[in-house]
Amino acid sequence: MLALLGARPRVALAVTAERKDDGSRSRKGKQFEGTNRRRGRPAWKRTPDDTPLRDGNRDRLIGLLTERAAKTLMIYLMELNPTHYSWLVEFYKVNPIPKVGTWDDVSGEAFLRKLLSMPIEAAIFKTGREDLYSNVKPMGVDPRNLAMRILDIRSQLAKEFIQDLSEVAEENSTLMRETLKTSLLGSDAALASSSDSDASAPGSGSATPHPEVVEAVAAARAAAEAEAAAARAAEEARERQQRADEAARAERLAEQERARREAEARAALEASFGRAMQGDAAAGGGAVAGEAEGVGAAPAASGGGGFAGLGADAAAVVAALNAAFRREASPDVGGAGHPDVESDGSGSSSGGSVDGGGDAGGGADGGGVDGGGVDGGADGGGASSQPGSDAAA
């Protein structure tokens, strides 16, 4: 009947309860059942982006810190306390921090827990001598103190590890850059050797470089050539600017020298004309004295008129010479300030010169002024003057 209706037959199910003392399996793992529970990352800090070996990496990182801290303490004790150093070395040989094993062994917690739970022990520094001849006395070693020092050193090493690990990205970039540079240099050398081999032996079946490598090498060469061309252009522009600055500086110096020489020449001419005027004035004074004595009255009268005429002609000569100096463009000024002006110690000149000597005789010729235009002479007995001016443009 049940078969006709399609009902399934009843099956007896046996349910067995798991006992707590069953050591063959654990409900959540041994790390949850043990008294020393594993101190991993909490669940709220875990994300799907975590690497699959993050917990194992953390255990091994803590173990590495503990191991290096213990080795660092050994170095300190070797310098300061040999007895503690020998005891810690022996303890580490018996209780090492393995790379593979349970999490508490790998992380170094078993090593530290054992040190923290040990009482003070007596230790003797082994010198290699027999006990009968050794005078080394035993010393008490406090394992808890050593464990505390290892923990302090481990915290300091963790800070150093953080600083070093923060530069991993930069070190990766440096490694990639150096590898790429080496590859490109090797490819460049391979291209050069292959081109030489092809030129020497066309039939040799040399390996053809990858097209991307060839393009990279060509791009690197083009960039280097462009950089070199830009550097050469900048250097040429800098040299041109320097030459232009030097030319402008030389031109300014030449202009200053030209102005200085013109000023000196003008001052010399004015001084020479001043001496000439002083000589004519002396000649006119002698004529006036002769008239007072009744000798040479007529020459005295003519001498006074000559002095007055000489003053006007001297001003005209100075103006003409100034105009000539302005028209002159050559910087070479000789003598008294002009190529055509030559003066000697006595004040005489020829070819556009001014002569005002002690005998009160002067003549001027230059810059459009004829030498016969101004002529005055005087002797001891009287004064005679034949003034005249001949101005030429």
Band (279; pLDDT cuts 50, 70, 90): confident
The residue ranking higher by pLDDT, 123 or 173, is 173
Two structure tokens written together for 264: 């000196």
Whether 89 shows a pLDDT value over 70: the answer reads yes
Secondary-structure breakdown of the chain: helix, strand, coil percentages, each rounded to the nearest 5: 60, 5, 35
Find residue 205's DSSP bridge partners.
none
Q: Which amino acid is at 43?
A: A
Whether 209 shows a pLDDT value over 50: the answer reads yes
b (16+ CB within 10 A) / e for 332-356 = ebebbbbebbebeeebbbeebbbbb
First-to-last C-alpha distance (Å) of the chain: 159
CB 336 within 8 A of CB 268: yes
User: What length does the chain have?
Assistant: 393
pLDDT tens across 166-181, in order? 999 999 999 999 998 8
The values of phi and psi at residue 377, to 5°, are -140, 150
Find residue 385's DSSP bridge partners.
376
pLDDT tens across 295-319, in order? 444 444 444 444 444 455 566 666 7
pLDDT tens across 230-262, in order? 999 999 999 999 999 999 999 999 999 999 998
For the chain, domains (ranges, CATH) are 53-166 (1.10.1200.210), 269-329+347-385 (no CATH)
Q: What is the pLDDT of residue 38?
A: 65
The residue ranking higher by pLDDT, 3 or 322, is 322
